[in-house]
Structure 1
Amino acid sequence: MLRATLLLVCLLAALPGRAQTVLDPALLERVRVLAETAARAAAPPNTRVAVEIGALDARLRLAPCQQIQPYLPPGMAVWGRSRIGLRCTDGVARWNVTLPVRVAVFGRAVVANGPLPAGVNLSQEQLALADIDIAAEPGAVFTDPALLIGRTLARPLGASEAVRAPALKSRQWFAAGETVQVRVAGEGFAVASEAQALSAGIEGQEVRVRFESGRIASGRAVGERRVDVLL
């Protein structure tokens, strides 16, 4: 039985396509520096970036290459689970693959002081500050608990879970029919005016307003009775 097992292992090891491509440590360091530099450019001040590099797909059999260039694929996220491109620029075959990476960004952020149900209006006692990986999940975090007082949770949070923007109910800045301050901005100019809201102003959402002249424009609700119109 032992001889049969050893024979099977040897046969499997000899099968084509099972050898995993091993990347040079110097190349992996270039990948790490590229991912870390990109993450730092988008990270808030006083944060720490850590990069964990994964492995190429074990099924890949890449032709020998004298020069491999790491690069950031267009549109690829630089936080959390991402990928770094590797292209062969000097070899028998010009291959192009991606290498998985995980980018953590550690910083101070507001977290739940204990389990919180959906619908609760946040108070100072329910919030705390902690060092977390702010890149672990999508959504902006908060660094000042005062900005969250009175906000309503849209979903439950676990103890020590970060309070992220998607977990909060959108605020209604004004109701339909109210007079709002409108800032109209374009390339090289900005003017302010008053208008009547034609719908409720929900935080971050589009809203239509009517000026005294009768002209109707679409903008975005940005604050208490405030609308931004970008031309």
Structure 2
Amino acid sequence: MPQPPRPSLPIRLAAALGLALAATAAPAFAQAPAGAATLPGTTGDIGPDFVAAAQHWVDDAVAQGRGAAGTDMAPLRMEVSIGTLDSRLRLAPCASVEPYMPPGQRLWGRARLGLRCIDGAVRWNVFLPVTVKAIGPAWVLRDGVAPGAVLKPGDAVQAEADWAADASPVVADPAQWVGRVATRGLAAGQPIRQSMVRTQQVMQAGAAVRVLAGGQGFEVSTEGQTLSAGAVGEPVRVRMPNGRIATGQVVDAGTVRLAL
């Protein structure tokens, strides 16, 4: 019988950015080592014992990755399941089958595990579906949200969700979604992800704004007209009184600060 999935897998929560549990970047799985082990041979089909061996190989590969990544990981509960091939498929006998991760694949969400015969009269290559779930804390919407609506603190509650169910990273820090705008219609029960929200625009293209510029010990201001829309902290293009086009950062709905 196949063994139950092991509870922990390797994850890196954007360590280069110094993010911990509240990270908004997607966790990245280390690639399983290609050809790290061989599975029992097959006599013409992929049976339960073979799939169980594949399960162990995946679990071991990702456990090795976790050890290399260290122990400072977000408390995600990992679940891995190995699918099955078409029951009608018949493969030539093979004394040794090598598992590997196809190029570009990672152990996150829906993936594929490659299996190739390396010791048999007929060399074959097939793929087993693999599903990796990463269950962890998330902010889940209480009710549906209309496109363009500004999210408020009471719009979501903390609950568990599968971080790996979508390519867009889960937004675990409420500061990264409260006050932001829904990019599309959102349904109740959805965990908030980066692709679902954007910063609220406070400045429209064509608006008359005060333009600030300064340096150490001085600051000057003039009038300008925006050529693009933007949110607080975002860059916008501004036409100056002399016709020159400059780029500055939105301070508030009526102010842009130029970088000198």
TM-score bucket (shorter structure)? 0.5 to 0.7
How far apart, in 2, do the equivalents of 1:78 and 1:180 lie?
49
1:31–1:94 distance in 2 versus 1, CA, 3 Å: farther
- Residues 141 and 156 of structure 2 are in contact (CA less than 8 Å); yes or no, is this contact kept in structure 1? yes
Q: 1:27 aligns with which of 54, 59, 62?
A: 54
- Residues 179 and 200 of structure 2 are in contact (CA less than 8 Å); yes or no, is this contact kept in structure 1? no
Q: 2:132 aligns with which of 103, 107, 117?
A: 103
**Normalised by the size of structure 2, how large is the TM-score?**
0.56
CA-to-partner distance for each residue in 1:8-64, whole Å, 9 max, x for gaps? xxxxxxxxxxx85325232332134336666996xx621111111100122321111
1:222–1:96 distance in 2 versus 1, CA, 3 Å: farther
CA-to-partner distance for each residue in 1:61-108, whole Å, 9 max, x for gaps? 111122211111001242211111111112222211110111101111
How far apart, in 2, do the equivalents of 1:89 and 1:150 lie?
56
**Alignment partner of 1:46 is 2:75:** yes
Any stretches of 5+ residues in structure 1 without a counterpart?
1-18, 182-196, 227-231
Amino acid at match of 1:26: A
Q: 1:81 aligns with which of 110, 133, 148?
A: 110
Larger deviation: 32-41 or 53-62?
32-41
How far apart, in 1, do the equivalents of 2:250 and 2:193 lie?
19
What's the RMSD between the two structures over aligned residues?
Answer: 4.1
Cα shift at 1:201: 5.8
Cα shift at 1:113: 2.1
1:110–1:58 distance in 2 versus 1, CA, 3 Å: same
- Residues 35 and 84 of structure 1 are in contact (CA less than 8 Å); yes or no, is this contact kept in structure 2? no
In the TM superposition, what are the counterparts of 1:209-220 in structure 2 within 5 Å? none
Give the SS at the match of 1:135: helix
Q: 1:59 aligns with which of 78, 88, 91?
A: 88
Amino acid at match of 2:54: L
**Normalised by the size of structure 1, how large is the TM-score?**
0.63
How far apart, in 1, do the equivalents of 2:100 and 2:249 lie?
37
Task: Report sequence identity in percent.
Answer: 38
1:74–1:202 distance in 2 versus 1, CA, 3 Å: farther
Q: What's the counterpart of residue 151 of structure 2?
A: 122
Cα shift at 1:169: 3.5
Number of positions where the alignment pairs a residue of Structure 1 with one of Structure 2: 187
